[in-house]
Amino acid sequence: MSRNSMIKTVSVIIFAVLTTWSGIQFYQHRHYQLPIVAGPGVTKVVKLSDYCAGLKGTMADTHVFFLQGKEEGGKILIIANTHSNEPVAILSALVMIENARVEKGTVIIIPQFNNSGSRNTKPGDGYPLFFDVPTGWGSKKFRMGNRNASPLDQWPDPDVYVHYPERQLLSYLDVRNTNRTWPGRSDGPLMEKVTYAAMQLLREEHVDLAIDIHGAETMFPVTNCIVAPDKSMRIATIASMTVTAMEGFENHVEPSPKGFRGLSHREIGDYSDTLPFLLEAPTPFLDQPTGPKTVDLLLKGKDPFILSLSKQKKLFVPYDKSGWPMEKRVGQHCSVVLEIMHQYSMKNPDRAILVSNAPHYADLVKNGVGHYFHNPNEAKKGSLYFN
Ligand SMILES: [Zn+2]
């Protein structure tokens, strides 16, 4: 064998080994099933495809948890992991699913809204494939997903995404972004089917409130806030002022822009009777100028570059050496969700939603997030779900 052929053969072998090795990891990530223990408040679990048949049998289908109180009242839909690279959302949703009890009304939770996106990753940014949350019984393993659905589930992308039905021109990538494809359609691209199914759920179940939970960069002004259209503004403002005054963390309200289409807080409000809200909590992991995108950065939010930018007043949130730990972010979201429900219930007593055994900000900061997750190996028969 000539020297040239030898180099070529060795290169092909190295390439094949690396491709197989990474392929196995991507396969394991895509097919890992997250155990979710349905807590004492869960009364039924359905699939999102029950509201749009086109989702059946696809990677975009996902569980919908219902926590129905004994007494009739109002209804709220909580959506998490619209963006699966903002896992503060699914952690907050699981804290609710595994612990909350509903006394009056109904709480509906979709913990893995863009299920396909949660099985996608961002190798160019060096995203970890998984992260572990420590608990009293060991650690709970989560998939770290991406902002957009996997091209394995929805492909090819158009040159430009033409929003339906407003026809606004959006980035080609937004066709796989479930915070741009609202209100969706039953025969559109897969992610439009996901948002269409949620719209059908809101309309068929006569849902009063919808909350879409996110995380955002510390260098982005829309963070530590509730985004609300005009119709939700009064409740958002009172809820924001109350948590700021009573619970000791910063929060403000941002208006939902009227001319920017496809977002949950815009289209849910315009295309249903539901009052929408979108919550953001600071997530240093998402900022561009950070060190490596490690699990530690994701969970603790500590980064020397962000700290230095904070000293130069480049951030939109307070930031010091303690970083922005996950328990603070989850705690903020839990408190804001509970306060929005509380404010709505006070103004609409016949449509009240009363929840007990759901932790607030101070509880999460004191106990940590893992404290609220139950051991799937000890789950009661019929109460374990995989998503
Ligand atoms: Zn987001």
CA of 196 to the centre of ligand 1 (A): 19
Helix or strand (DSSP H, E) at 195: helix 190-204
Q: Please tell me the distance between residue 179's alpha carbon and the centre of ligand 1 in angstroms.
A: 7
- Ligand 1: centre distance to CA 89 (Å): 9
Determine the pLDDT at residue 168. Answer: 98
In DSSP terms, which residues pair with 107 in a beta bridge? 67, 76
> Average of pLDDT values for 215-224?
94
Buried b / exposed e over 268-286, threshold 16 CB at 10 Å, is: bbbebebbbbbbbbbbbbb
Tell how far the Cα of 288 is from the centroid of ligand 1, in angstroms. Answer: 15
Bond from prior residue into 156 cis (ω within 30 degrees of 0): yes
Distance of CA 84 from the midpoint of ligand 1 (Å): 8
SS3 79: strand
- Which residue's structure tokens are 């953001």? 280
pLDDT at 291: 96
- 19 CA to middle of ligand 1, Å? 31
Give the tens place of pLDDT for each residue, 331-379. 999 999 999 999 999 999 999 999 999 999 999 999 999 999 999 999 9
Q: How far is the CA of 262 from the centre of ligand 1 (A)?
A: 13
Report the separation in Å between the CA atom of 82 and the middle of ligand 1, taken as the mean of its atom positions. Answer: 7
pLDDT at 170: 98
- Report whether 297 contacts 126 (CB < 8 A): no
- Report the separation in Å between the CA atom of 15 and the middle of ligand 1, taken as the mean of its atom positions: 35
What confidence tier does 77 reach under pLDDT thresholds 50, 70, 90?
A: very high
| pLDDT mean over 124-141 | 96
Give which of 332, 333, 305, 331 is closest to 319, Cα–Cα.
305
Distance 72 CA to ligand 1 centre (A): 32
CA of 211 to the centre of ligand 1 (A): 12
pLDDT of residue 144: 98
The rounded Å distance from CA 11 to ligand 1 centre is 41
| pLDDT band, residue 91 (cuts 50/70/90) | very high
pLDDT in tens, 161-209: 999 999 999 999 999 999 999 999 999 999 999 999 999 999 999 999 9
Cα 99 to ligand 1 centre (Å): 25
The Cα–Cα gap between 309 and 105 comes to: 45
What distance in angstroms lies between residue 175's CA and the mean position of ligand 1's atoms? 15
Give how far Cα 261 sits from Cα of 69, 125, 266, Å.
35, 28, 7
**pLDDT level of residue 240 (50, 70, 90 thresholds):** very high
Domains of the chain: 32-386 (3.40.630.10)
pLDDT of residue 1: 76
Strands 71-79, 101-110: pairing is parallel
Identify which has the larger pLDDT, 123 or 375: 375
Tokens representing residue 235 in the block? 């409740």
Q: How far is the CA of 215 from the centre of ligand 1 (A)?
A: 6
Distance 7 CA to ligand 1 centre (A): 46
At position 363, the amino acid (one-letter code) is D
Percent over 90 (pLDDT), the chain: 99
* d(C-alpha 181, C-alpha 204), whole Å: 20
When pLDDT is averaged across residues 118-126 and rounded to a whole number, the result is 94
What is the distance between the alpha carbons of residues 387 and 383, in angstroms, rounded to a whole number?
A: 13
- Using a pLDDT cut of 70, give the percent of the chain over it: 100
Alpha-carbon gap, residue 383 to 225, rounded angstroms:
34
How far away, in angstroms, is 224 Cα from ligand 1 center? Answer: 12
